Amino acid sequence: MKNLTILGSTGSIGRQTLEVAAANPGRLKVRALAAHRNVDRMLEQIRQFKPDLAVLTDPAAAEELKRQYDGKTEILSGEEGLLAAATWEETDTVLGAMVGYAGLRPTLAAINSGKDIALANKETLVAAGHLVMEAVAENHVRLTPVDSEHSAIFQSLRSGTHDEVKRIILTASGGPFLGMSREELAHVTVEQSLHHPNWNMGRKVTVDSSTLANKGLEVIEAHWLFHVPYSKINVVIHPQSIVHSLVEFCDGAVIAQMGIPDMKLPIQYAFSFPDRYPSAYGQLDLVKASPLTFLEPDLETFPALAVAIACGKEGGTLPCVFNASNEVCVNAFLQGRIRYLDIPELIRRTVDAHRNVSRPGIEQIEETDAQTRRYTEGLIASL
Distance CA 260, CA 242 (A): 6
Asked whether residue 239 carries a pLDDT value surpassing 80, the answer given is yes
Sheet containing strand 254-258, edge to edge, reads 233-237, 165-172, 243-249, 254-258
Distance CA 49, CA 95 (A): 16
* Greatest C-alpha distance within the chain: 62
Q: Average pLDDT for residues 362-367, to the nearest whole number? A: 95
Asked whether residue 199 carries a pLDDT value surpassing 80, the answer given is no
Asked whether residue 120 carries a pLDDT value surpassing 80, the answer given is yes
Closest CA to 91 of 71, 72, 111, 76: 111
In this predicted structure, what is the pLDDT of residue 280? 76
pLDDT tens digits for 335-345?
A: 999 999 999 99
DSSP state of 164: G
Q: Name all contacts of 67-74 with Cβ < 8 Å and 24+ positions apart.
A: 68/39, 68/43, 69/43, 71/46, 71/47, 73/46
Asked whether residue 197 carries a pLDDT value surpassing 90, the answer given is no
